[in-house]
Structures are given as structure tokens and as C-alpha cells.
Structure 1
Amino acid sequence: MADLVRRPGGTAQATSTSGLGVTVGGVPEAAAGRKFRPDIEGLRAVAVLLVVLYHAGVPGLTGGFVGVDVFFVISGFLITTHLVSELERTGRLSLAAFYGRRVRRLLPLSLLVLLVTVVVSWLLLPPVETRATFADARWTALFAMNVRLALQGVDYQANAEPSVLQHYWSLGVEEQFYALWPVVLLLVWWLGARVTRSVARGTARPRLVAAVATGVLSLLSFLCSAWLLDVAQPYAYFLLPARAWELGAGAVVAFAGPALVRRVRAVRDLPVVGLVLSGAAAVGLACVVASAVLYDDGTRFPGPTALLPVLGTALVILAGSPGATPVERHLLGRPAAQRIGRVSYGWYLWHWPALLLVPAVLDLEPSLVVGLVVAAATLALAQATLVLVEDPSRRSPRLRGRVRPLAAAAVASVLLLAVTGLASATSTTTRGDGPAAAAPVLAGDGSVATLNAGLVARAVPANLAPGLDGASEDKPSASPVDGVSCHVGFEETAPRPTPGAACAFGDVTASRTLVLVGDSHAYQWLPALDEVGRSQGYRVLSFTKSGCPVYDLDVVQSSLGRDYHECYAWRDAVVAEVGVLRPDLVVTSGIVSSDATGDEDAAVAAWDRGVRSTVEDLRSSGSAVLVLGDTPYPGDDVPRCVARHLDDASACAVEEARALNHPRRREAVERAAADLGAAYADSTSWLCSEGSCPVVLGDTLVYRDHSHLSATAARRLADAFVPYLPRT
């Protein structure tokens, strides 16, 4: 992912050391370091292998995502070395020439992969899937996919399915760094020259000032990363301010390398020097591999945990500055590693969309075998595009000069935006061609027959509600007051989204009150309770918050990547407000989620204690309490599955044993509610039958995503709540 140019004959040469006759403290730079670094090419191979094999599902590489961090360090090293070389040679930087080289190196292949991905998705996948791809493509064309993913990552309601363009986030980080770093370095260099008035030392002091400034900026970025990890982990993972320190680590090595070379030359006859450098390279590579093996998706990352792969990579690069180490000669410099390193950029770009599109198009279950076959195929594709696209674009005389590459990049981006806009505008509606179906009976005597019919349903009805294209937006309505959603976000701690706002539904003039409290798996029931309130004479008040069950549990919020302290404050405020309101009935539910420890016995005990504590608090106000058992958890995006199986909706039905995640925790919720005299409703009996949970019932799509009921389905379950209303 970092910059390379090719010597005639195909040998790779880092542009960062292409200058000859440049002096660093009186030592020719060509002598101070090596022009071509096989160890860096080999590090690229290690990085891309970690990422690709991790995505393919190879066992043991649970932390293969650290390959991206290796790429970042390499990029920071090469780009900074190149820029410093030009500054020392000419005393200035040609920003247009620099950006032009970036364009020739990175954009032709990245735009080609982007275009191919969009076209293949457009032609072969249902519109319900491609609309998100078109939106992602527009962000990617603007070099901001990392920003989009950061914003989506802190949106609990965002679609959980990965984007086929998700891997472009790292290119977004690098491209944003490339846009800013030359300007920052030029300013720092100018400041160093101004501070140092001595002509004799003028070539050395700007480098020293720039090195110190780079270290300080990298430290600030690292602190930002650590802080964001405790505030909003997606921001720490995807945004440049929290990732710049990794590229900065490579930049620091670029400044330190020549000094190390000079000192090694002075003691070159001492055997211990070679041993130290060899050991440093081995330790550095071991750090990278160890992080790939020891880390997993539950690791708090980046922040301090990213130090292991980042410093390991920096150590390998620094140790190899004076000359080849045994790690280079026996591992990184081997022909196979060099060949993979040469195609690493293309392989990185091609592998991810192929891993998602091939199983979707061929209707295959993702597996290790499928992943490895796709990985091998995209490696061959990367080799082909190296020869046909990457090398020609770097050598093309039409892309030479300062203006042409930038103009070509602008035109290509505009054309891509036009293509995605056209594709989005001309996408057809995804709908079934089965006969129109009647609204299902989901409560009372006819419910079992409806469920059983759903298990054998075939063609998706033409009048499916909600429609597949808009299913993800079939959420509970916003509050009628000020149009504000009554479901509060992650950072809010007040019960209401707006002070004084009455999140009132049902019969808002009724004297009887029903209160709904909990997380999004409680909020999904608001349409049903709204109907109950209208028909049975209840004012319905909604107090719900993303990812925050009202049960007295410790919560580590996966979207934020930290302890969810806002949940605890909100929970206390809601329980206090319920005590003041003294409603006739409190309805609560919560997603039965995983925990970080993996100790199921401890988790079950915690759920038992938490539910008991909360139910006691809610009942202390004199209110009746209805605890809703959590709904089935399909796990896969239901509208996408149905869109792929329009001729057989039953193919998307979920086995009840799999849908009822964490059954012991569910049993603990029911047991605690019963022991404390609260009513308990098993929502599974409303949605599953014969050991299976259908996703299409009559004309109704049951789920709007991977776990939440559609508002339409919830509304049609309103009658199921009537037996649990207090008797007057």
C-alpha cells in the first residue's frame, strides 16, 4: 500500500531513496542507506497475507487485521524518506509533483476495483443490497470511506452487514495523510531552517527539528487514539487523527535510519553490532506475528494494543537500514515473499469484495474452503492487474507532469460518482412475484396456524410489508412532539431525548398509563403498544436507549468499545422517573447479549441478579410489571436473505435453537420475573413454531435487519399484549 516504482526489468525500488548525491550531515545518502529494501517488500507480503487469510477465516489468525497497521508504518517510512530527500536536495517540495505521483501509484487500480465492484453488484445482486454499495462507492470516490464507517460504527441502528467496499477505509486514512503530511513537513522544515541560522549546519538542523516535531505529533495522535478508545472505539479505529501515529512511527524511523547507518559504519567491525541488528529484526517480526495470533475481534484496538505490531514493524525497518539481516535473507527477502509483496496493493484491493460477492452471487455458504479459493483467485487477479494496470499507469507519459495526474483523478472521481448515481437511480424495486397475501393473525387462536403456514411459504408475496427495499427503515415512529425520536442515543443520559418532551403514544388523553423501558429490543415493541393504548385506553410513554437494557447489568458497549457508563446514569434516571409517574403497567425487555468474559455461569448469575434488582425497583412504585422475553435473533440480515430467495421465503427461516441465543440467560430472566411476581411473556411463542422461526408471515416481513422486528410486524402483534394488561 505504500509507494513503489519499478526499475527496468521489474525490480522494485522505493522512491523514498531514489535520490543520488544528497548529503546528510556530510555523508552521501546513497551510501547512508540502501536504495532498494527487500525487507520492506517482504513486510508487505506479511501484511497482506495476514489481512487476506484473516478475512478468509484461516484458524489461528484471529488478529490478522494488524496487517493494515504494518502497511501504515511502511507508508509513513517511505513517504517521509522521499519527502525529506527532496527537501534536502532542493530546499523545497513540489506538492503538485508529489500528489501526481500518488495519483499514478494509487488511483488507477483503486478506481478500477471500485468500478468493477459497483458494476458486478449492480448486475448480479438485488437492489436491496446494492443501494448501500452505491452510497459506499460515493464516499470511497471522495476518499472518505473511513469517515462513513466511523459514523456508522457509532450508530446502533446501522445495518450490521459488512460493506463490499469496507476495506477502502485504510486507503482513506492513507490518502488523507498524504494530503496533509507534505504540507506539515514543509512548514516544520521551514521552521527548522529559520531557527538554525548557521549555513554550515543548515542541512542537518531542519531534519532534527522535523524529527522532533514528527515525534511530538505522533505522540499526540497516540494519546488521541487512546482517548477515543474510551469514548467511541469506531472513531479510534477509522479516523486519521487516531491512526496518524502509526504512519508517524514510520516517519520517525525515516529520520532515525541515516543516523543509525552512520553509527553502525563507525563500529562495523564489532560482531555484536550485527547480532543486535539481527536480533532486533527478529524481535520486530515476532511482535507482528504474535499480535496477529494473540489478538482477536474482541481486542480493544487500536490504542496501546497497536503498539505491538507498529513498533515491531518499525524495528524491522530500522534494523534493516544498514544492510540485510538474517530475517531478510532467510524470510522477507525470499523470492516468494518478494513476489507477494509486489502485488500486495492489488491483492488487498481485490480480495475483500470477492470474498463477499462470490458466495452471494453463487449462493454459497461462506467457509474456509471458499475463502481460500477466492483468496488464491484474487492473488492471480492482482498479478494480472499489476502488469496491465499498475505498471502502465506509473509509466504512462500521458500521466506525467504536475497537472495531468490531478486532472485525471478529478475526472475519474466525477465519472465514478456519475456511474453510481445512475446505477442508484435506475435500480428496480425488489419485490416478490407471489400472490398477494392477507395480513397474518399473530395472536389468539389462529396464531399457530399462521406460524406453521409461514414455515412452508414459498414465493414472496407481491404485497410484502414492509417492502424489502425500505425494510431497514421500518422502525418505530418518531415522537409526535417536535418530530424527535423517543429512542435516545449512546451519549445521552436523560430519560427523554429533549427536556420536557412528552414521548406519549396510544391514547394520550387516557387516565391510565403504560410505560415502556429498555433498549432497542424494547423499543421495537412501541408500535404494538401504541395500538394497545389506542384500543384499550392507555397513554403509552416510551423510555428507551440504544444498547442499554434497563436490567441492573454491567454493560460493555461493543459499538463504543468500552464500559457503557452513560447507560448506568440513564437507567437510574428512568427508574426514578417511573417511581414518580407510578404507571399502571411497566413493560420492559432487553437483548440477551454476549459478554466479554465468556464465563457463562457468571453471566447467568449476573442476569438473574440484574433482572431481580430492576423488577424490585419498578414494582416498588406500585406498578404492575410485564417482562418480555427477548425476541429470536436471526443473526443474518433478513431483508437481504429474502431478496436472494424470492422464490422460497422458507429458506430464510431460522432454527429456533440457533435463534434463541444464550438460552440459560433467557431462562434466568423468566425465573427472576416469576419469583418476584411480575408477569412474563415469551415472545418466542408468538414468532416460532415447530422448532423454527419464519421470517415472512402472510403479507408481513417479520424482521427489518439481523435482530429487530419490523414496525409492521410489531404492530400486528398488538393483541398479544391485551391479556397482560391490569384488570380494572
Structure 2
Amino acid sequence: MSGVLPKKFRYDINGLRAWAVVAVILFHFGVPGFAGGFAGVDIFFVISGLLMTQIIVTGLESNSFSFGRFMFARAKRIFPTLAALCLVLLVFGWFWLPTLDYQKLGTHIVGAALFISNHKFYSEAGYFDAASYEKWLLHSWSLSVEWQFYLLLPLVLMLAWRWRGKQAVLFSLLAIAFVSFVLSVYAVETNPSAAFYLLPFRAWEMVSGGLVWWVMRHQRLSQTASKVIELCGFGLILTAIFGFNGATPWPGGYALVPVLGAILVLAANRQVSPLTANPLLARVGLISYSLYLWHWPIVVFLAYAGEQSNPIWIVAGILLTLILGELSYRFIEMRCSNWLGQFSLKKAAWVLFGMLLFVELSAVATRHMDIEGRLPQVVEQASQESFDRHPRLEECLLSSERNVTDPSCIHGNGEVQAVVVGDSHANAVISSVALAAADKGSVVEMTYNGCSTVIGAKSRVHASQCEQFNQHVLDTLSTPSEIPVILISRLTGSVFGYNEPHAFHNTPVIYFGENTEQTRDDVYRDFVIKQTETVCQLSQYRPVYLVRPFPEMDVDVPKVRARHLMFAKSERDIFITEQAYMRRHAPIWQAQDQAAVACGAKVLNPLPYLCSNGQCMGTKDGHSLYYDSNHISEYGNKLLTPMFKPLFQ
């Protein structure tokens, strides 16, 4: 994110940095209107690509390029500030983070300091998911992508230069841009997390910056042409910032909008433009790297304290970001860079290695810091309830890495008394069904993550084989039997989108047919028809029970409970009102009623067991009833045993 400006200072680049970092910061703080502010990172990539290509190519042309000096110049500007942030977070976490969170922070610091955190975050939740707001160094993924680019680009261009000089260098840049863009467009549909986090799918953005420098290095546009091109560029950038959101497939083809916008602004090369060269933007651009580094932990802190939607806290967070960014730039970024610059390359490399080693050892030590009394025991216990899940979850809940025909899980002993079919919500309550049937026999579980049991439903997330799994379920259960089928799925989330922060927040997760852009109304219409078809097909052979949607909390219950105990030193009731529940789930109730009447199925309602006095509880008697925001915990699901008990009497 920092880069190194060429000897001839370009005010347009510095101003464009300011636009990019402001967009990212306002997006992360949740300021209304900046839903596409994440595109600021793509602008940073274009800028970095231009600067790095300029440094490498001009060095090769003058026969003065040194890979060691090139990497040292990057490291002395980037690493000390990152190391300082990591150490500050470790100190903060010692006093405030439960063991689970503290150990995760240590793991993330290891990846961030080695500039491989993009691969770590790729293996975890998506960038726009609710869990992202619990990762103090999530933003380091972009630094890792850039660092990997810094490592590989000079090596590729040096080889190309030795092969056939300038022509080979240009060919290499064009080839990388083309292949990377094609991969990005493909992966954004098939593997969105890889497309977002990994270098092969991002390289085209950086190389495009290099290409615009190559094309314009000996060109000079007229003043009028420069103004028009610059305005067009900012028009595209603003279109991305204000027009896109977390549900926009990214990067892929949509990323062309901010990337092309940045290309046009850089090609215009206006050094006296009020859009980039005014004093305020000049200063923000200068400290943009420090601003970027320090802003995200403040965002996470607001989420941790439960104040991420509080306007006063948001304004305070933005002001603190500006203060820390300025202080960090003055006293860490610049001073360390100047100090390291006084040493020989070899000595400075050892100093940087010493910094890295200290940060890494400190981070690794967090894995062994489960020290009694570090935090109140009640906080640690509340945090641990995030793992109050079915012990056979990974074994029984199928996912995209598993075959849809893997053997079903059997819970309990004796003859099978029921088959539970659905998604992770079914897996979350399977032990309560098994407990209800314990006196009679066992229960079979057939579940697939993110896959509601509806014929023809295709999932945009988690369940790449959802349609095949549902067909397998129907084929397996389409034999006459008195053994009932219990259908449990997060139907509201599938049809209308998730209620928690997520790439599919209020956006349908499933679709029908080949139209992947179906609206919520289109999906609901098809869902009503297909659910009735599903229930009727099963009802021909077996008794069928439809379970109403479980209440969904607005927050991750164990984590919010633990953090409230940490901050407020008191227990906090977490709940939603029954009115709020009905506003969200009423259309699904209507569809279930229609299917039940048409097919002779029966409906099971969990609300009498989970709700009372107009409130659906997320906590009870000092325990979390959920292990996140919507999956019922092992403690909570026992409340549902009386609902299932009559099925086996």
C-alpha cells in the first residue's frame, strides 16, 4: 500500500492514493453510501503496479537494477509499521481478548508478518462475512498480495529482459494481464474467495498500472484531453464506490470499472488538478499506508465493543484513525525508513530479520499463553460456547469437498426411527432429535452445508452440489416406509438472504433454472412451487414434518456475550422480538403451510420452546442458546427435545 514514489513526485498518484484510502476507510466503518469502497484496494493495486514497473524497467534499461535493493526499499517502508501494529495488538489482546480470540490473533500475525495472510484468510470465511469483523489483521491480505507481486514481478521482467530485451518485457506484461484477468473472471464464479484473496487473480490489476506507465511514458496529452480523461476516470471510480456492494462478484469483470478509472486518472497525469493536488488530499495520500494499517483494528474494536453502528463511535473511530495514521507516519514509517537507510544493505537486512523474528516468536507464543486468571473465568467460559456444537459436525455435515453419496450418519442405537434432512441448521439440532428418539431407536442424518431441501435449488455459496444432493435424498427416501422425514433448513436465509453481515446479506443464496440473477420475488415464487413439489414427492412414501425456521439472532451470541461480560462486567440478555421474527419469516411460514395442506405433511413450530413473553432468546440461565448468530447450540437444542418427542410415542 505504501510503494515508493519516483524521483519526480507525481501529485496525481499521491492524490489518487488519498481517494483510495478514504473510500476503503469509510466502507469499513460502514458510512452510508460507500458500499463499494472496497474498490479502493483495487486502485492501490493499479498504483503499485505502475510504480513497481517504472522502477524495474528504468533500472533494467540503465543496467542499474538490483533485486536486493528493490526489495529492501519496499521492506524498510512497509515492515516496521506493520511490525509495530502487530506488537500493539498483542499487548492489547493480552488484556482484552479471550484465549480463543488471542490465539487466533497470534496465528494471523504469523501470516501477516510473513506476507502470506491472504492464503490464511482464503481458507477461512469470505471477506464480506460477519466473521471478518473479528479478524484484527484481515486488511493485511492486500499487503501480502502486493509483497508477493514485488517478489515475482522483478524476477519475471529480469528473465524477459535477458531473453529479448524490451519487447519481451512488454510481452510478459501483456501476457500476465490477459491470463490473470481471464482467471479472475472464471474464478469469481467458481471460487470467489480465491478470486478475491490470491495473487494469480489480482495480478492483472497491478500489471495494468505498469502497462499504462509503459504506454504513457513518452506521451503527453493536451490540457483539454487530460482534463476529460481524468474526469472520466473519476467518474468510473465513483461509480464503483457508490454503485457496488458486498454482493457484487469481485474482482472479475466488475473490477474493470475502478481499475479503468485509475488507469485513466494516471494516464491523464495532471499535476495541478484540484481533484488530486489540493493540500488535504496531498497529506492524506502521503500517510495513506499508515492510515490503512491502523484503521481496520479500530473497526474491529467497534464491532468487538458492539458499537459498530453507533454514529458517535464511528466518528470517533475515524478521527482516531487520522491521529494514529499521522503519528505512525511521522514516528514509525518515516523514521524507521530513514534509520534503516543509513545502514549497509546487509546490516539493514539483518535488522529487519531481527524485527521479523521477534514478531513471529511473540505471535507463536500466544498459542501457549492459556494462563489462569488472565481474564475473568466467566468471560473465557462464555467465549468457549462458540464450540458448543455437535461433536460429529465435520463427519456428518457434508460440504463441497465431500461426495453427495457419502454414507449418512446414524445417531443412537437400535432401529431407525426418523430421517433428518437439511442443511447446517438440521445438523445443529440433530442431537435433540436423537435424544427424543433414544427410548425407541436411532436417527439418520442427511445434511449438506448451505443446501435447503428443495428440488431444483442451486446454491451460490457453500453447496456447489446442492442440486445433486437433494436429488440423492429424494432417490434414497422414495421407498414406502413408516419412518418419518423431518425437514430442517435455513429457508429464509436461502430465499431472502442472510440477516448477518455477509456477501449474501439480504440477497438470495439459492436460485432456480439458469437465471443466476433472479430477484428475491423470483426466487420466492419458484421456491413456493418447488418446495410443495419436494414435500409432495416425499409424502407419497413417508410421513413428512416441516420445521419452522429457527429464530436468527442479530449477533454472534457467544462472542457478544463474552465481550459484554468483558466490557460491562455484567450478563446481557440477547434476544429478538417475536414481531421481528414474524416480519422476517412470515413468507416461509406461508409456503410451508401451503405445502403441508397440499401434501398432507405436518408442521413443527419451535417458537413455544425458544420464545416467551414476546421474545425469542439467544441466552438462558447464563448460557448461549446458539453457537453463532443462527445455529442452535448443543445446550440450546435440548429445549427442542419436547417438540420432537411426540413423533416417537
TM-score surpassing 0.5? Answer: yes
Matches within 5 A, 1:312-323: 312-320=261-269
Structure 1: gaps (5+ residues):
5-13, 19-34, 193-205, 265-272, 435-459
CA-to-aligned-CA distance 1:477-502 (integer Å, 9 cap, x gap): 328xxxx7121113545232xxxx35
Counterpart CA distance in 2 for 1:623 and 1:424 is 51
Match of 1:286 in 2: 235
Of the three residues 206, 226, 246, the one matched with 2:205 is: 246
Are residues 1:355 and 2:293 paired?
Answer: no
Of the three residues 187, 191, 196, the one matched with 1:232 is: 191
User: Contact (CA 8 Å) 1:152, 1:158: kept in 2 or not?
Assistant: no
Matches within 5 A, 1:268-667: 273-320=222-269, 324=270, 328-358=272-302, 360-361=304-305, 364=307, 366-397=309-340, 400-428=343-371, 467-478=381-392, 485-492=395-402, 494-496=404-406, 501-507=407-413, 509-510=414-415, 512-537=416-441, 539-552=442-455, 554-558=457-461, 565-580=464-479, 582=481, 584-591=483-490, 592-593=492-493, 594=497, 595-596=507-508, 601-620=521-540, 622-646=541-565, 647-659=569-581, 662-667=584-589
Q: Which has the larger radius of gyration?
A: 1
Of the three residues 37, 44, 48, the one matched with 2:17 is: 44
Q: Which amino acid aligns with 2:49?
A: G
Q: Which amino acid aligns with 2:399?
A: G
Counterpart CA distance in 1 for 2:612 and 2:66 is 69
CA-to-aligned-CA distance 1:372-417 (integer Å, 9 cap, x gap): 2211221122111211111112211566333334333332222122
Task: Measure how far apart 1:505 and its partner are.
Answer: 1.6
Task: Summarize the Cα distance change of 1:535–1:430 in structure 2 as closer, same or farther, 3 Å threshold.
Answer: farther
User: Contact (CA 8 Å) 1:63, 1:297: kept in 2 or not?
Assistant: yes
Are residues 1:217 and 2:176 paired?
Answer: yes
Counterpart CA distance in 1 for 2:97 and 2:363 is 15
Match of 1:710 in 2: 633
Task: Summarize the Cα distance change of 1:228–1:162 in structure 2 as closer, same or farther, 3 Å threshold.
Answer: farther
CA-to-aligned-CA distance 1:640-680 (integer Å, 9 cap, x gap): 11112335434323333345562223322431343122121
User: Contact (CA 8 Å) 2:240, 2:257: kept in 1 or not?
Assistant: yes
User: Secondary structure at the residue paired with 1:148?
Assistant: helix
Q: Which amino acid aligns with 1:138?
A: V
Aligned length: 624
Question: Cα RMSD between the aligned structures?
Answer: 2.8
CA-to-aligned-CA distance 1:421-465 (integer Å, 9 cap, x gap): 33342245799989xxxxxxxxxxxxxxxxxxxxxxxxx7x9x9x
Task: Measure how far apart 1:636 and its partner are.
Answer: 1.0
The percentage of aligned residue pairs carrying the same residue is 26
Structure 2: gaps (5+ residues):
498-506, 509-516
Counterpart CA distance in 2 for 1:224 and 1:389 is 38
Task: Summarize the Cα distance change of 1:108–1:399 in structure 2 as closer, same or farther, 3 Å threshold.
Answer: farther
Are residues 1:724 and 2:647 paired?
Answer: yes
User: Secondary structure at the residue paired with 1:524?
Assistant: helix
User: Secondary structure at the residue paired with 2:404?
Assistant: coil
Task: Summarize the Cα distance change of 1:96–1:582 in structure 2 as closer, same or farther, 3 Å threshold.
Answer: farther
User: Contact (CA 8 Å) 2:125, 2:132: kept in 1 or not?
Assistant: no
What TM-score do you get using the length of structure 2 for normalisation?
0.90
Counterpart CA distance in 2 for 1:236 and 1:614 is 35
Q: Which of 633-642 and 693-702 deviates more?
A: 693-702
Counterpart CA distance in 2 for 1:36 and 1:699 is 60
Counterpart CA distance in 2 for 1:615 and 1:527 is 24
Task: Measure how far apart 1:233 and its partner are.
Answer: 0.7
Task: Measure how far apart 1:715 and its partner are.
Answer: 4.2
Counterpart CA distance in 2 for 1:345 and 1:432 is 33
User: Secondary structure at the residue paired with 2:160?
Assistant: helix
CA-to-aligned-CA distance 1:22-62 (integer Å, 9 cap, x gap): xxxxxxxxxxxxx2110000000100111111122222211
Task: Summarize the Cα distance change of 1:602–1:304 in structure 2 as closer, same or farther, 3 Å threshold.
Answer: closer
Match of 1:66 in 2: 39
User: Contact (CA 8 Å) 2:606, 2:643: kept in 1 or not?
Assistant: no
Counterpart CA distance in 2 for 1:69 and 1:433 is 42
Task: Measure how far apart 1:367 and its partner are.
Answer: 2.6
